[in-house]
Amino acid sequence: MRVLRTILQRVISEESGQSLVVVISSMTVMLGVAAFGIDAATWMVKHHQAQLVADSAALAAAQCLANPGHPETINGGPSLVCSSSTDTSGADAVAIAYAKANGLTISNSNVTVSGNKVSVSASATSPGLLSRVAGISSTSQSAGAAASWTSTSSVCNNPGGGNCDFMFADDSNCSTTTNGIDVTASGNTTVYGNIQSNSNLDVIASGNISLGSGGSYGPNSTYTCQSSNTFSGHNPWGSPPTQSSSVAPWPIDYSKDFPACGGSGTACQSNGYPSYCTNSGANITLTGSTNGDTTITNNVYCASGTGTKSNPSTWNGSITIDLSGKNVLYDTFVGGSISFTGSGNDTLNACGYTTSGYSSTNCTSGVPSPVTTNYPIFYAVGTDCGNSYPLNVTVSGGQTFNGDMFVPNGTAALTMSGNKTLTTFIEALDIKMTMSGTLQGDGPTATNTGSSSSGNVSLSQ
């Protein structure tokens, strides 16, 4: 009996050891599964966060393109804005800033704009914590989103059709009645296009004034201030312009096409000017006589004055142009102040001008980046000084103008007389214009400009 008891005790002892091994092995497997489950839940949360970031970045970029000119500050950073509905670099910057503000780093390669659709990809890496026992040290969570948008404005594909912008004044100060747009129309004048002012809109019209097929200076003509519109001799408003309750942004911010060189990605030439400047100097005089240089077609003229050569926003140089005859030019002029006098039958086009967009075949400076629609003819950077204005244009005779004018910080003063055709979009802080001839807008078709309406955006995946 004693021997049998000893044998049974040994067997029981041996089975107990085996059970312990089984229990320990089972617990190890269960702990591994639990650890993987905990990490998997963490990874799912990370993926969800990456998806939310991709969604918000895509929507923000689409919103930027749908509502160009509306600046936005993200998480206390610099103000970001899309200059137009084609400003893809502005959309990239907004998407990148939104992702960064939410803890993810993306680059331009993660943002794609195709047509009216913005796609954003985002990824995050998470370390394996408890799952390291299974050999998983880290995982990557990827997410993608796309947002579609419809813009408040569209490119003008039919200059002179009546629904494209002709003039836009940014000044929103209503305290001075001369702010905004002050127009005198006389003689044989035909105007096609919208006239829009963030303050006053005063028009004095006399003579044979034709409003064109688009309606009274375009169906989307607007003004903001309470002051009355004035006219004499001839009422230019077949139907009165709309008074807006809110100011509108720049329909086209041409300053985006002339960035400082160096850190912006635009190369600097050996002379210090940006690469798009093909003719440059402190001050430029073009008269075609012994007192000045002959104007050469297919160039961008840059006058820096005492400003920093690499940064057009600082330029205060003067450009003086006096043309007569039958010159045909494709040029753009950028400086602090610009004075143009023309007589005869010259044709002056913006460098690279076409009605549908920029054409590098007509401009030796290369394609601007970011390109808005075209280069303008004139970009005057300076401010008013008494009765001295950054842009002064006086033309008489049978000139033809094709291209835009941009004066963001001062007044555009224009006197247009004679039998001429002017296809342009005049953007300035304030505009003073005496006009006759055939005048047609080629600015964007801004159906909501001057109102509180905005473009529409939505996630498309």
Residue with tokens 């055939």: 438
The answer to whether the CB of 94 falls within 8 A of the CB of 80 is yes
Q: Decide if 99 contacts 57 (C-beta within 8 A).
A: yes
Tell which residue, 183, 180, 181, has the closest CA to residue 434: 183
| Lookup: tokens for 434 | 């005496």
- Closest to 415 in 3D by CA, of 427, 438, 432: 432
Predicted pLDDT of residue 450: 31
Could you give the 3-state DSSP secondary structure of residue 127? strand
Whole-angstrom distance, CA of residue 219 vs CA of residue 240: 9
C-alpha count within 13 angstroms, C-beta hemisphere, residue 413:
17
Element of type H or E holding 328:
strand 328-335
**pLDDT mean for each 10 residues of the chain (461 residues):** 52 53 56 59 70 84 75 71 75 87 84 83 68 60 77 66 84 86 81 87 75 55 72 61 80 84 81 92 79 72 96 96 82 95 83 65 57 77 94 86 92 85 90 86 60 56 60
- Element housing 334 (H / E): strand 328-335
How far is residue 416 CA from its own chain's centroid? 30
The helix or strand, by DSSP H or E, that contains position 24, with its residue range, turns out to be: helix 2-66
The pLDDT assigned to 202 comes to 83
pLDDT for res 129? 57
- The pLDDT value given to residue 254: 85
Q: Does pTM surpass 0.75? A: no
pLDDT at 22 (0 to 100): 52
* Cβ–Cβ under 8 Å, residues 336 and 305: yes
Number of H-type helices and E-type strands within the chain:
2, 28
Q: 323-355, pLDDT tens digit by residue?
A: 877 778 889 999 999 999 887 788 888 887 766
Instruction: Kindly calculate the radius of gyration of the chain based on its CA atoms and give it in whole angstroms.
Output: 32
Q: Cα 15 to chain center, whole Å?
A: 80
Quick one: pLDDT at residue 141?
A: 66
Find the Cα–Cα–Cα–Cα dihedral 181, 182, 186, 189, rounded to 10°. Answer: 0
